[in-house]
A and B are shown apart, each in its own frame.
Chain A
Amino acid sequence: NAGVMQNPRHLVRRRGQEARLRCSPMKGHSHVYWYRQLPEEGLKFMVYLQKENIIDESGMPKERFSAEFPKEGPSILRIQQVVRGDSAAYFCASSPDAATSVLTFGAGSRLTVL
């Protein structure tokens, strides 16, 4: 069991470019969560998705950020027109269902905006 796989592990973008972060949940998990960790801060919830549905996006910035979890393939967090303030570590977690309270986290994707 490969666990939660995130790629790329490191991504460098210039201001104004787009960033796409991918997350493949653990086998058998259909619920995905994205968190952002700014330097020296805790994790902030962004969005919770189930296959083809967004369950809770209360932590997503209103502009430039979007997330999807298609029927086939990984979940994708997309950041358009990146700014320096988007530089952070983005963590994905998964769970098999809504009742399982323990989330399994990936190793994270570190975005650096130049």
Chain B
Amino acid sequence: AQSVAQPEDQVNVAEGNPLTVKCTYSVSGNPYLFWYVQYPNRGLQFLLKYITGDNLVKGSYGFEAEFNKSQTSFHLKKPSALVSDSALYFCAVREPTGANNLFFGTGTRLTVIP
């Protein structure tokens, strides 16, 4: 069975500081990993994904994530946070074979303080 854990419900960071949103996963085989962002009253927007290759993945809006197989983690990072980054962030996983549906974590609310 596949699962995703986002240990922090809330992350607060000052504008201009680096941010990290944590994610760990459990899946059989090599995982497909994703980050999505949700703004109020909106659907989820894709940020980035890891399928294979370089462990450091760069995505939209300056975000990046690092795949760490030994720690089964896929933390989302950004070197300098913006107030407009404040939103709900979801990590998701799927197995490389089988159905294409994603399994999501419970989400982390990021607040960037001006």
Contact = CB atoms under 8 A, between A and B. Distances in A.
Interface residues of A, number: 27
Contacts of B90: 42-43
A106 B100 contact: no
B49 A101 contact: yes
Contacts of B67: none
Nearest to A34: B101
A107 B42 contact: yes
A55 B44 contact: no
A101 B51 contact: yes
Interface in A25-58: 31, 33, 35, 41-45, 48, 55-56
Contacts of A93: 44
Interface of A: 4, 31, 33, 35, 41-45, 48, 55-56, 59, 91, 93, 95, 98-108
19 contacts: A33-B100, A33-B101, A42-B90, A42-B104, A42-B105, A42-B106, A43-B104, A56-B99, A91-B43, A95-B100, A98-B99, A98-B100, A101-B34, A101-B49, A101-B100, A103-B102, A105-B44, A105-B45, A107-B43
